[in-house]
Amino acid sequence: MSLLYEQVADALRQRVAKGVWKTGDRLPSERELCVEFEVSTITVRHAVAQVVAEGLLVRLQGRGTFVASDHVVVQGPPALTSFTQDLNQRGWQSSAKVLQFETVSPPEPIRIKLRLAAFGLVYVLRRLRLADGLPIAIQSAYLPAAWFLGLAQYDFTAQSLYGVLEGDYHVRLGQATETYRPGVVTEEEAKLLATPVGAPAFRIERVTSDVSGRPIELVESVTHGERWALTVHLTRAALRRG
């Protein structure tokens, strides 16, 4: 049986598809939707966030949620944001559980991508990421240890890694390259993500560089395939007329 928020999300999709709500229409308030569907506020927020991520709805700060224009296809965020920022934009409350934090000698592929010397060490910060209490991703961040001395003192159950790097280490984030691959979860991952072994997942690698082009972080993520959507804003370029 599908989760309750998925049932509400499907009802919202149907209203858009059948024209009950047309482009530009404002959705009823969260309170009104809670009363209509007889569900909690959290359930409504999850449902609306899911349909926003799919591009059928759009949130306008201070104005509400509206049916999106059919001139834009939304499949994922192109901006360089932290996981915390991304979840907040989707309307979810972010939290984390630290699974591992230690200094190690990295595997060669990671060492090469971070441009480290042969004996360079990295911090490994492995966290279970949650959205409104639901496990949504397992992330392993690798950072050059020599560049971020004292990083272990921070509480990354509550603090944003990017926030610490920018605020305390004065890193100016420049760009990142992400690679998405479909996959399935292992037995260990299934326990952490509260999903069956073999359930679908995204396997994501992100290499982040500062404004000088120096790689400062590599993150390997396993995201819950039923709770995560990649979104990319696409617009049709104006045609040149001869």
Residues 104 and 67 reside in one and the same domain: no
- Residue 188 or residue 226, greater confidence: 188
Mean pLDDT of the chain: 85
| 207: containing domain | 83-224
Residues 89 and 65 reside in one and the same domain: no
Residues 102 and 189 reside in one and the same domain: yes
Residues 14 and 68 reside in one and the same domain: yes
Range name among 61-65, 85-89, 172-176 with the lowest pLDDT average = 85-89
Look at residue 61 and tell me whether its pLDDT is greater than 90.
no
Q: Is the pTM of this model over 0.75?
A: no
What's the whole-number mean pLDDT along residues 111-125? 94
Look at residue 171 and tell me whether its pLDDT is greater than 60.
yes
3-state secondary structure of 29: coil
Residues 130 and 175 reside in one and the same domain: yes
| 237: in domain | no
Residue-wise over 86-117: b if at least 16 C-beta within 10 A, else e? Answer: bbebbbbebbbeeeeeeeeebeeebbeebebe
Residues 19 and 40 reside in one and the same domain: yes
Residues 91 and 54 reside in one and the same domain: no
Residues 70 and 91 reside in one and the same domain: no
Indicate which CATH number applies to the domain containing 17.
1.10.10.10
Range name among 40-54, 163-177, 207-221 with the lowest pLDDT average = 40-54
From 3, 55, 57, select the one nearest 30 (Cα to Cα): 57
Give the integer Cα–Cα distance in Å for 107 and 220.
13
Per-residue pLDDT, 37: 94
Residues 130 and 152 reside in one and the same domain: yes
Residues 180 and 90 reside in one and the same domain: yes
Residues 154 and 180 reside in one and the same domain: yes
What's the domain count of the chain?
Answer: 2
Residues 52 and 111 reside in one and the same domain: no
